[in-house]
Amino acid sequence: MAAIDFKKIPRFKQLPIRKGAPPESSWGVFGDKDEFGCLNFLTPKGIVDAAKLVKKGKVFRLDTPINYAKPPLFNRNPARHTILSFEQYGLLGHDDSIDNYNTQEGSQWDGLGHVGHVRHRAYYNGVTDDQIKDGPGGRLSIHKWADRFVGRGLLIDVCKYLGAKRRAVDPLSAAVYKLEDLQGALKAQRTKVKPGSILLVRTGWLGAYLKASDQQKQEMAPLEALKSCGIEPTSAMVEWLWDNRFAAIGTDCPAVEPWPWDFRDEGALHYRALSMLGLPLGEQFVLDQLAADCAKDKRYEFLLVSVPMNLEGGIASPPNAVAIK
């Protein structure tokens, strides 16, 4: 992690800076071999400033329990947890074994090796498919983030904002939160955007999902059946995210953008953010308790600490994240 001169970072309209790189890509901005993308916006000074936001010693866990979704969304497999007894050694005690664990079965950061651009056939910074591989040499691996994901967290409670305006959306539909909704919520919250923030957006999806019956959860989980709200997957949205130097965006919905999205659609946020800008996407985050506290003390900023798994060559990770106020 290094200091960064934010003024020297090109504006979105100036991208790309690398000859031959795709339009609207940040490839080369942080160097030709860079694997961190927008996480470069997190700096030592940003951490020191974010630590000053801790005022009352309250901690909010942002991960769902493992296997919270029954069944997991998008046809992903559930993990099998077995408690192994020490009985065979004549001892009293246990180990865990977690088999079949999919790092995206619940709360998760999508790593930059998760999705390559559908037409350019490349990942962030031009990384090729064969460079995404198991082990320490795997490019864009999630383990490289393990000591990078600390900084100022900023919550936008767009769900509450639209609810108060009597324009609430159904989170379990493919409803779209527009950029102007996010900006309106920020204004209503009186929250300032600062470079190097980790943005969290509460859409209301997870709360609505948890209220559904077991039967409804069964019906809505498959890839083909799932419907979810999300933020608009437009050039204007990523321009705003980039020009405000957001380091990552995490939401409480399954895909950040509305689901379903068409994998052939180059305009999808997954391509715009992960492949083009190197902007990590966070999904199925637990934000309701944090949001309630922010509404109560009117402080929507906090120290955010996330320690992705030290899985060499890993594609994604549960965030292992806490917000501290």
Paired sense of beta strands 248-251 and 108-110, if any:
unpaired
Residue 176: burial class (beta carbons within 10 Å; 0-12, 13-18, 19+) = middle
In three-state secondary structure terms, 44 is helix
Minimum distance from residue 104 beta carbon to ligand UVW (Å): 5
* Interaction between residue 232 and ligand UVW (CB under 6 A): no
Retrieve residue 90's tokens.
């004549």
Mark residues 263-282: x for contact with ligand UVW by CB under 6 A, - for none: -------x------------
Out of 27, 36, 41, 74, the residue judged to bind ligand UVW by CB under 6 A: 74
Is residue 117 within 8 A of residue 152, CB to CB? The reply is: no
Is residue 203 within 8 A of residue 230, CB to CB? The reply is: yes
Is residue 111 within 8 A of residue 140, CB to CB? The reply is: yes
User: What single-letter amino acid sits at 167?
Assistant: R
Minimum distance from residue 270 beta carbon to ligand UVW (Å): 6
Out of 25, 104, 189, 317, the residue judged to bind ligand UVW by CB under 6 A: 104
Whichever of 38 and 186 has its CB closer to ligand UVW, that residue is 38
* Interaction between residue 103 and ligand UVW (CB under 6 A): no
Minimum distance from residue 265 beta carbon to ligand UVW (Å): 12
Count of chain residues binding ligand UVW (CB under 6 A): 7
In three-state secondary structure terms, 162 is helix
Residues 46-65 touching ligand UVW, rule: CB under 6 A, are none
Whichever of 9 and 38 has its CB closer to ligand UVW, that residue is 38
Is residue 318 within 8 A of residue 283, CB to CB? The reply is: no
* Interaction between residue 105 and ligand UVW (CB under 6 A): no
Is residue 220 within 8 A of residue 227, CB to CB? The reply is: yes
* Interaction between residue 283 and ligand UVW (CB under 6 A): yes
Whichever of 110 and 157 has its CB closer to ligand UVW, that residue is 110
Whichever of 152 and 270 has its CB closer to ligand UVW, that residue is 270
* Interaction between residue 123 and ligand UVW (CB under 6 A): no
Whichever of 50 and 200 has its CB closer to ligand UVW, that residue is 200
**What angle in degrees, to the nearest 10, is found between the helix axes of 235-243 and 179-189?**
40
Minimum distance from residue 294 beta carbon to ligand UVW (Å): 26
Please, how many CA atoms are within 13 Å of residue 203, restricted to the half-sphere of its CB?
A: 34
Whichever of 22 and 280 has its CB closer to ligand UVW, that residue is 280
Residue with tokens 């409670």: 157
Out of 112, 255, 290, 304, the residue judged to bind ligand UVW by CB under 6 A: 255
DSSP secondary structure, 204-256, as one string: SHHHHHHHS-HHHHHHH-STTT--B-EE--SHHHHHHHHHTT--EEEESSSSS
Q: How far apart are CA 134 and CA 127, in angstroms?
A: 15
- DSSP conformation class of 276: I
Minimum distance from residue 157 beta carbon to ligand UVW (Å): 22
Whichever of 247 and 255 has its CB closer to ligand UVW, that residue is 255
Q: How far apart are CA 52 and CA 301, in angstroms?
A: 11
285 closest CA partner among 60, 24, 1, 93? 60
Whichever of 35 and 105 has its CB closer to ligand UVW, that residue is 105
Minimum distance from residue 231 beta carbon to ligand UVW (Å): 12
Whichever of 274 and 323 has its CB closer to ligand UVW, that residue is 274
Out of 35, 63, 110, 157, the residue judged to bind ligand UVW by CB under 6 A: 110
Residues at the contact surface with ligand UVW, assessed by CB under 6 A: 74, 104, 110, 254-255, 270, 283
